[in-house]
Amino acid sequence: MHKKLGVLGGGQLGLMMISPCIDLGVEVYFLDPNPECSVQPFTSKLTVGDFNDYETVLAFGRTVDVITVEIEHVNVEALEQLEKEGKEVNPSSKLLRIIQDKGLQKQFYVDAGIVSPAFKLIESVKEITEFPIVQKMRTGGYDGQGVQILRSESDLNKAFDVPSVLEALVDLEMEIGIMVARNAKGDVQVFPPVSMDFDPELNLVKYVVSPAAIAEELSNKCIQLAQSVAEKFELVGIMAVELFITKKGEVLVNECAPRVHNSGHLTIEGTSISQFEMHIRAVLGLPLPEVHLLDPSVMVNLVGEPKHTGIAQLTNIDEVLAEPGIFLHWYGKTQTRPGRKMAHVTVVRSTIEEAKQVADEVLEKLQVISD
């Protein structure tokens, strides 16, 4: 592969792109502000610099042929300039600009005829008069931060006083994730839908489950929707399409992330090609093979334990790794903090129930603590 690939971001998502780059013979370069980011121990091609800085992104982009991202919050003006200079930027600066602002993203869905929860845009907290409502900061939110439900007027004191999307609160039956890949020729491949299953006690997403336990008809509907979203965005690369299934059985698009994604990690072991290889192929214009399911799988995130800050270590690692069908992916971060995503584990079994049970045992045994 003669093209040089540049990735904005060198965290765990970038780290997991290295393996398919090795297999496909792709020369891959990274830009990340953190000199100790996840990719650092595994590459000599890390530039330490801010992917939000115009000059830094421009200079980095000029040294490669194709630019991609592992995070959507990057300097789009520099990417626009690189496109003008003839560089391939996949996904495009235009798509990233829409995704970076939840307000523009919601408006895009309306214009493209994609069904998403009803919304309005506000500038400040004074405009919040109806309850219950979901408030989402237009920019700057991350991993559920910057999103909150305001149940009544008494919640107004915790409302964000910034430009936001106010969204109708949806009666959720299920949350589905679908990875969809598209290359510049317009070839599209969709991965099997996964579900984000909640912990009934904590009411937090705990497992990513493949395949999602939904009827074939609903699954096909989700797949067609993901394909049409990728086409309407003119995506080149991979995208996570997050869907809501309502109690009435409607399918709504919640949001999209035009990059490899946590909900696609179990494709490494659970499907015939991983999201990471599919992404690399899509951005470089290589063929995209059809995806099929291998075995039921369940993915859980390993996050830093409460009260542990410092050099990270994992408990009971020998015991867990002795069992077959348990796949640890350590993200190469030396320092742990409470709640920091440090690794994930995918459990492959013959049934989802069994995989979930083993995943629970893994979560009990494998804990990220500090020295």
Residues that bind ligand ADP (CB under 6 A): 117, 134, 136, 141, 143-144, 146-147, 167-170, 172, 175, 242, 254-255
For ligand ADP, the closer of residues 7 and 133 by Cβ is 133
Residue (149 or 321) nearer to ligand ADP, CB: 149
- For ligand ADP, the closer of residues 187 and 255 by Cβ is 255
CB 300, min distance to ligand ADP, A:
16
Helix/strand/coil percentages in the chain, nearest 5: 30, 30, 40
The answer to whether the CB of 265 falls within 8 A of the CB of 330 is no
Q: Which residue is nearest to ligand ADP (CB)?
A: 170
Looking at beta carbons only, is 242 or 295 nearer to ligand ADP?
A: 242
Shortest Å distance, C-beta 165 to ligand ADP: 9
- Cα 325 to Cα 12, 236, 349: the distances in Å are 22, 33, 7
In this structure, the chain runs to a length of 371
How far is residue 187's CA from residue 225's CA, in Å, rounded to a whole number? Answer: 16
Smallest gap from residue 173 Cβ to ligand ADP (A) = 11
List CB contacts of 148: < 8 A, sequence separation 6 or more. 134, 135, 158, 159, 160
- CA 237, chain centre distance (Å): 13
Please say which residue, 135 or 275, places its beta carbon nearer to ligand ADP.
135
* Contact indicator for 38, 10 with CB cutoff of 8 Å: yes
Residue 163 CB, shortest distance to ligand ADP, in Å, is 16
CB of 367 to ligand ADP, least distance (A): 25
Residue 143 backbone phi and psi in degrees, to 5: 50, 50
Nearer of residues 61 and 117 to ligand ADP, judged by Cβ: 117
Least Å distance between CB 117 and ligand ADP? Answer: 4
Amino acid making up residue 247: K
Give the gyration radius of the chain's Cα atoms.
20
